[in-house]
Amino acid sequence: MKAKNSDFKGGDKMDLNKINVFFNFLVANLVSILFLLGLFVVNVSMYKAFGQNIGLLCIGITLIVISLILNHESNQERS
């Protein structure tokens, strides 16, 4: 099915620049992404192993650790 000429201006070619920008973002933030993925895995395993109460405690500790890291980094940028 072909699009109408009035609304479609992109053609059939995909813009590779958007894909490159996405991959550059992933590479630039790889350490942060892996850190958050690791915390997610630890939280899920705590829920599975010890139940809801310990899982919620683990999520609370995780959020506190993330907020302390973000606060420390923002204070370094201000100085």
pLDDT at 43 over 90: yes
- Binned at pLDDT 50, 70 and 90, residue 3 comes out as low
pLDDT at 47 over 70: yes
pTM across the whole model: 0.65
Which pLDDT score, from 0 to 100, does residue 16 have? 83
Residue 36 in contact with residue 59, Cβ under 8 Å? Answer: no
Residues 6 or more apart whose Cβ sits within 8 Å of residue 43: 55, 58, 59, 62
Percent of the chain with pLDDT over 70: 82
